Structure 1
Amino acid sequence: MNTDELRKILDEHKVYVESFGESGSKANLIGANLIDANLIGANLRDADLIGANLRDADLRGANLRDANLIDANLIGANLIGANLRDADLRGANLRDANLIGANLRDANLIGANLIGANLRDANLIGANLIDANLIGANLIGANLRGANLIGANLRGAELPDHTYVIMGEKYPITITNGEYLRAGCQNHTIDDWRKFTKREITEMDGKTALKFYPRLLDIADFYLGKGKRPEWLNALYSEEE
């Protein structure tokens, strides 16, 4: 795709976004060849970029909120400060991409390749990183609150302080930023986990959750230091005896 064609598409898409779809036309860049493209500050919100080749593209400060980037090639792309909130990046290849300070809040990154990606100070609140490959990724300073890291490969990754991924338990457990703990599909603050009632724990997953709850608190104590436990646990221990 030549520069003039791309500019026309971007101009029409900008009108489309700003008019809330009343005029202009939505960008259709499915499978487009955008290698090394200059897209600094481009407005590609809600654009269709399925399978697009954006290798080494410059997307600094670009607006890609709600964009469809399924299976897109973003190897080496510069996405510093880009807005990728709610973007669909399932299966996307972000190997060695620069995502410093990028907004990936609630983005879908299931199965994405983030090997060697720089996610320093990125916003990953609520992001879905199930089965994502994060080998060697830089996540220092990243906000992973509520992120789902089940099955993610974090070998060699640089994680934020007090961030841990614990496998081999009844439920996969992720502790992020020393503040939030996700067990299976349940994600709550450490303080909330320590205050839940017996009924609240039971409602999560019946007797299975109730039986695992003391173990979960043991894990929290091990990684973050010993904390309070609800009084009803003493009665539970007594019942077991």
Structure 2
Amino acid sequence: MNISDLNNIIESHKVYVTTFGKDGKKANLCDANLRDADLCDANLCGADLRGANLRGANLCDANLCGADLRGANLRGANLPDLTYVIMGEEYVITITNGEYVRAGCQNHKSEDWRSFSKDEIAEMDGRHALKFYPHLLDIIDFYLGKGERPAWLSIKESK
């Protein structure tokens, strides 16, 4: 894919995202060869990147919230230090700079994730988020080290 075509797709996708799908076009970069592409600061929120070759791509500060990265090749991609992309979970999870954790479209500091109230988690995606939350904390613990958990997680609810 040439740079001009890629820039047009990214620009149209940016319009699509900012107008909530009323204008522009959702980026379909499925199986695209984006090897060594400069995608720094690109808004790829919700883009289809399944099977894309992102090897060596510069993804610093790119917004990949909700992007479908199944099967994408991220080997050698320029991600900030302590950055991880975890796929195969109910939400795409990215950890950036060992500090920010994005699960789905929610992006917060890891210490904030560890201290959210039950109501705050429920507001993110209802019961689904409440069920996923302990697993998300397990993932954060694995990549960033064991940390505190909110007390409400250990309280059993009566039915």
- Counterpart residue number, 1:87: 11
Distance in 1 (CA, whole Å) between partners of 2:67 and 2:152 is: 30
CA 1:128–1:207: 2 relative to 1, 3 Å: closer
TM (norm. structure 2) is 0.68
Is the 1:137–1:157 contact (alpha carbons within 8 Å) kept by the matching residues of 2?
yes
> Where in structure 2 are the equivalents of 1:9-158 lying within 5 Å?
55=2, 69-70=8-9, 87-88=11-12, 110-112=27-29, 113=32, 115-119=34-38, 122-124=40-42, 126-128=43-45, 130-132=47-49, 133-139=52-58, 142-144=60-62, 146-148=63-65, 150-152=67-69, 153-158=72-77
> Where in structure 2 are the equivalents of 1:205-220 lying within 5 Å?
205-220=125-140
Distance in 2 (CA, whole Å) between partners of 1:117 and 1:89 is: 20
Distance in 2 (CA, whole Å) between partners of 1:203 and 1:149 is: 18
SS of 1:182 mapped into structure 2: strand
Q: What are the ranges of 5 or more consecutive residues in structure 1 without an aligned counterpart?
A: 1-53, 58-67, 71-85, 91-107
SS of 1:87 mapped into structure 2: helix
Distance in 1 (CA, whole Å) between partners of 2:61 and 2:122 is: 30
CA 1:56–1:155: 2 relative to 1, 3 Å: closer
Is the 1:139–1:160 contact (alpha carbons within 8 Å) kept by the matching residues of 2?
no
Cα deviation code 1:132-180 (max 9, x no counterpart): 324313337x224x53263122342423222222222222222222222
Cα deviation code 1:197-219 (max 9, x no counterpart): 11111122222211211110000
CA 1:56–1:195: 2 relative to 1, 3 Å: closer
- Counterpart residue number, 2:18: none
Partner amino acid, structure 1, of 2:12: D
Distance in 2 (CA, whole Å) between partners of 1:171 and 1:56 is: 30
1:114 to partner: Cα distance: 5.2
Q: What are the ranges of 5 or more consecutive residues in structure 2 without an aligned counterpart?
A: 15-24
Is the 2:66–2:105 contact (alpha carbons within 8 Å) kept by the matching residues of 1?
no
Cα deviation code 1:33-64 (max 9, x no counterpart): xxxxxxxxxxxxxxxxxxxxx9578xxxxxxx
CA 1:157–1:116: 2 relative to 1, 3 Å: same
Distance in 1 (CA, whole Å) between partners of 2:33 and 2:74 is: 12
Task: Kindly indicate whether structure 1 or structure 2 has the higher relative contact order, using CA contacts under 8 Å at least 6 residues apart.
Answer: 2
Q: CA RMSD in A?
A: 3.2
Alignment coverage as a number of residue pairs? 139
CA 1:151–1:199: 2 relative to 1, 3 Å: same
Is the 1:194–1:230 contact (alpha carbons within 8 Å) kept by the matching residues of 2?
yes
Highest CA radius of gyration, 1 or 2? 1
